[in-house]
Structure 1
């Protein structure tokens, strides 16, 4: 049976994290502490909100990679991120590996093809930490293509430390007020729920969202309680109504709605 290390196994980098509360050194030291639990190559921390796009908090991404990794994620890619989907469903105060939250055909999803594959990640482990103001701190912890996937033991180590990481993160961000957030309040939900409104039926909009996230027809069938054959008919009809012939074109149509929503009426 795989067991997680207890507090006596934690590295001696914890006291410096506590000492760095409310200073610019907090997240670099927290990153070193987490790396002592299980090694990784990069971290990207954002603050998630239910009524606005994510806000950047901290990252270790090289400057030449920022446009592809950071800017693209914050602009639109987050909408189809399996971890962001888990957050929207209320799955917080938790640690998961990507394979624990990803759809069954994640590698065929628009998110994977247009974003994830291009940033050369082998595996990702996410911490979703509820903050007192209702927002959530999302620690995206990555290993690049040449490294091994996160093991069950690594996941257990992060889960053991989760209450401590949550408490320290909340204390650090306590005096950082909720930022002024750009754009209308319901852009995110409007983009996902209202995609194809006036053209698609409610069921077709739901199927379109699940297709974009990487669910197979069988998975969509399970989630919607409809037959696989019916799902395929919905897919065919929504493609026809939207004037698209591929998942890439479906994504382009979806992204256009997101950007239009941010620009306002």
Structure 2
């Protein structure tokens, strides 16, 4: 067997990470190891389910505490997260890149401009471990620069190691078997607000609203809802009229207000 010094260093470092499997610093040790090979500027470990994501660990904010923007994410912005949406639509294990799941108009959304670009910065990749039909354990790695093809390939190469450790780590988390099934906060509040309108929003109009805010084009919305693009435009026009708004930015402002 011919091993390079880099191979030896990887196995030595991985062995040290395995030794922390039952320790509080496991996730930090794992991300630091990955950070030797790919740029990692922020990270979070989540369990995606039908309700609000469950946070197991995260990189500390500038003051050492939880990032305030991430609190906004947990209040309801997660509903616009392309990774969350992908996990609800088609949960699966594997390496998932932002470019794999981001809608066509993602970078034009208020979510991207006012949250993602500030909190995640530029690029994001997830290592997913599907636990069952409802839950997916996900390690999110955010970077100030785009991950190169080589870095993506390297993450794909080490993913089996990382995924196996992620699954084993669940045995040492405080309550790994319980998945919170809280209702989607914004959707429930929007439904309540819609009931106060003279002409309430329909369920389909609310579906269109959420997909618009997540960055889907009319064609993408049409494909997801199995309707025509012209029908999407009609739903959008009716929805804007009922809400008394004229733009997606105004719709996003209503979305934020519904979280308070």
TM norm. shorter chain > 0.5:
yes
2:108 matched residue in structure 1: 108
* More divergent stretch after superposition (204-213 vs 53-62): 53-62
Choose from 159, 162, 167 the match for 1:162. 159
Question: How many angstroms does 1:135 deviate by?
Answer: 3.3
1:3 matched residue in structure 2: none
Q: Partners in 2 of 1:181 and 1:94 — Cα distance? A: 21
Q: Partners in 2 of 1:65 and 1:76 — Cα distance? A: 20
What whole-Å deviation, never above 9, does each CA across 1:61-109 have from its counterpart, x for those lacking one?
Answer: 4227944442222222212110111111133312122111100000112
| Residues 193 and 171 of structure 1, relative CA distance in 2, 3 Å threshold | farther
Question: How many angstroms does 1:165 deviate by?
Answer: 1.4
Check whether the contact 1:217–1:231 (CA below 8 A) recurs between aligned residues: yes
Choose from 178, 181, 186 the match for 2:183. 186
2:25 matched residue in structure 1: 25
- Runs (5+) with no aligned partner, structure 2: 1-5
Question: How many angstroms does 1:22 deviate by?
Answer: 1.0
| Residues 9 and 188 of structure 1, relative CA distance in 2, 3 Å threshold | farther
Q: Partners in 2 of 1:192 and 1:98 — Cα distance? A: 29
Q: Partners in 1 of 2:79 and 2:126 — Cα distance? A: 16
1:152 matched residue in structure 2: 149
Q: Partners in 2 of 1:160 and 1:143 — Cα distance? A: 19
Check whether the contact 1:195–1:257 (CA below 8 A) recurs between aligned residues: no
1:175 matched residue in structure 2: 172
* More divergent stretch after superposition (117-126 vs 73-82): 117-126
Q: Partners in 1 of 2:8 and 2:93 — Cα distance? A: 22
1:206 matched residue in structure 2: 207
| Residues 129 and 213 of structure 1, relative CA distance in 2, 3 Å threshold | same
Question: How many angstroms does 1:228 deviate by?
Answer: 2.6
2:246 matched residue in structure 1: 245
| Residues 169 and 228 of structure 1, relative CA distance in 2, 3 Å threshold | same
| Residues 200 and 167 of structure 1, relative CA distance in 2, 3 Å threshold | same
* TM-score (norm. length: structure 1): 0.80
| Residues 92 and 61 of structure 1, relative CA distance in 2, 3 Å threshold | farther
Question: How many angstroms does 1:46 deviate by?
Answer: 2.3
What whole-Å deviation, never above 9, does each CA across 1:45-64 have from its counterpart, x for those lacking one?
Answer: 22323234432422144227
SS at match of 2:205: helix
| Residues 97 and 31 of structure 1, relative CA distance in 2, 3 Å threshold | same
SS at match of 1:39: coil
- Is residue 2:41 matched to residue 1:41? yes
2:3 matched residue in structure 1: none
* Number of equivalent positions: 249
Check whether the contact 1:79–1:188 (CA below 8 A) recurs between aligned residues: no
Question: How many angstroms does 1:192 deviate by?
Answer: 9.6
Check whether the contact 2:80–2:111 (CA below 8 A) recurs between aligned residues: yes
Check whether the contact 1:207–1:231 (CA below 8 A) recurs between aligned residues: yes
| Residues 100 and 132 of structure 1, relative CA distance in 2, 3 Å threshold | closer
Check whether the contact 2:103–2:214 (CA below 8 A) recurs between aligned residues: yes
Question: How many angstroms does 1:188 deviate by?
Answer: 5.1
